[in-house]
Amino acid sequence: MKTGKKIRCIVILFLLLCAGAYLGIACYYMDGFSLGTWINGVYCTGKTVEEVNAELLGKQPEPGITVIYPCYEGAELSEEERVSSYFVLDERTVKLDYEKGLRQLLQDQRPLLWIRNLFLQEGGYELEPAIVFAEEGKAKFEEAFLSEEIVQAEKGRENCVRIERDEEGLRLYDGKKRRLDTDRALYECIDAIESGENSILLSDACYYDEKTDESERQQEELYRELQEFLDFEIIYDMGAEKVRFDRKTLVSLLAAEEGEELSFLRDEEGRFYWDQEKTEAAIEKLADTYDTYGKPREFTMTGGGVVTLEKGNYGTQLDRKAEVKWLSEALAERKSETHVPSYLREAYARGEDDIGDTYIEINMTKQRLWFYLDGEAEVETPVVTGNMMRRRGTPEGIYYIYGKQENRILRGPGYASHVNYWMPVKGGVGIHDALWRDVFGGDIYKREGSHGCINLPFEAAEKVYGLAEIGMPVILYYEKEQQE
């Protein structure tokens, strides 16, 4: 029994000591924040409101506000398109103060309940500072807001409605719609700052529309007429590329007078009409881009390097006269259509690169021939070209196969030679087999070359003949060192 009493006395004494310690801690921190108090990550136990306020302000980054504009240059923008301005709110503009919040927190803490501080989440209490404009703060913010580039641009927008050219052809510039009310916008920004917001999306109330006059309504009607008139598209199928006569291009072909205001001309029946000179210029531009016949061109050689070729009978040449006639009629009908143009000369491939990826390449410096089919070398063989010593060199340039014949007798001054496969590329110069030769390649052509033709081993000539088609380009060249 005595032992039991002794244990009870010890327990009671321990509890009294704990209670005394608990009350002692509560009394010790009575004039400041209680034990275990963290505010915004700052340890505040025992500190006064003034001390904590100073520490929190020292950690507080310089405040600012982002102003987001839902409209710009009269257009309503999607969330991804919206533009914004950021304004730094320095100490000359606003004053920050945690004191009010800290006093309220200190009052709510209740010293005897300090133990609950130990069970708060990491970081403890979270407080936001009160924001108060400095004496001249609102005036300084107003000055900064009104001088902002976006606001200046909105204020400076022309207050009119007119049709003008742009990257898409035409647009209706409407300076009457969605104009920025700077007074209302400024009011919303100041209200957001005082509420402690760090960003604000201006409301619809910050924008207004002005009334249009009669001439401006006429511009709106004209724009609708033009949109309807230009509601078609002509596509020139140039092979590898498609050239679109879309709204942007079609606008440029209309008869018009340029001035402060675009003035589109009408015929006697009041309809818009097309400028013939502009139509002809459009075809000239198309032909200049895609015509290759008679023009120097660069060719990338197998193995690397570029050679410039200025001669040859291969290439593309549009029938400009026919195309002016066709385009004039197509414009008059205003019908969407895809058109393959007429050619005076049509290459094997169509497009800006009309050599394409199927061709015969003959490097006369290396005395080698490659037959490329869809970009893959199907044949590679040594050859013998024209005799250089007797001035019978094979012509350089870009030519094409204009015929195919088996078992042909080739005749010339003092000779008549049978060949199994004959593919002419320029006059009497062509590609063929040469059974009278046992060796090809090397420097044979310099002294014992052909009369100008390209001699191939029988098997190679047979394969090339089987793959070749009429019109296929043949590129013949010497490398630069040989050309010099």
470 and 385: one domain?
Answer: yes
Q: Are residues 329 and 409 in the same domain?
A: no
Whole-number pLDDT of residue 462? 97
Given pLDDT bands bounded at 50, 70 and 90, which one contains residue 16?
Answer: low
My answer on whether 467 and 410 are in the same domain is yes
Is 219 inside any structural domain? no
Report d(CA 449, CA 459) in Å as an integer: 20
Least confident of 15-24, 142-151, 247-256, 391-400: 15-24
CB 325 within 8 A of CB 215: no
Q: What is the pLDDT of residue 373?
A: 97
Q: Are residues 203 and 248 in the same domain?
A: no
Residue 416, SS3?
strand
319-342 confidence digits (pLDDT tens): 999 999 999 999 999 999 999 999
Does residue 150 fall inside a structural domain?
Answer: yes
Burial of 257 (0-12, 13-18, 19+ CB in 10 A): exposed
The CA distance from 477 to 6, in Å, is 117
Query: Are residues 288 and 343 located together in one domain of the fold?
Result: yes
* CATH for 448: 2.40.440.10
Whether 153 shows a pLDDT value over 70: the answer reads: yes
- Rounded to whole angstroms, the Cα distance separating 323 from 286 reads 10
pLDDT score recorded for residue 32: 66
Which residues contact residue 191 at a Cβ distance below 8 angstroms, ignoring those fewer than 6 apart?
Answer: none
Q: Does residue 107 surpass a pLDDT of 80?
A: no
Whether 307 is in a domain gets the answer no
Query: Quick one: pLDDT band at residue 421, thresholds 50, 70, 90?
Result: very high
Residue 143 has pLDDT above 90, yes or no: yes
Instruction: Report if residue 217 sits inside a domain.
Output: no
Lowest mean pLDDT among 66-80, 178-192, 276-290, 470-484: 470-484
| Residue 49 pLDDT > 50 | yes
User: Is the predicted pLDDT of residue 31 greater than 70, yes or no?
Assistant: no
> Which pTM was predicted?
0.69
pLDDT at residue 449 is higher than 80: yes
State whether 288 and 410 are in the same domain: no
Same domain, 197 and 253: no
Same-domain check for residues 249 and 277: yes
* Count: domains in the chain: 3
**Pair (382, 341) in one structural domain:** no
Residue 30, domain extent: 22-156+177-207
The pLDDT of 407-426, averaged and rounded, is: 92
pLDDT at 123 > cutoff 60: no
Distance from chain centroid for Cα 48? 59
Residue 383 lies in a domain: yes
Looking at the fold, whether 235 and 322 belong to one and the same domain comes out as yes
Residue showing tokens 């310690």:
21
Average pLDDT, the chain: 87
Question: Quick count: other Cβ atoms within 10 Å of Cβ 23?
Answer: 12
- The verdict on residue 41 lying in a domain is yes
Tell me what pLDDT residue 423 has: 97
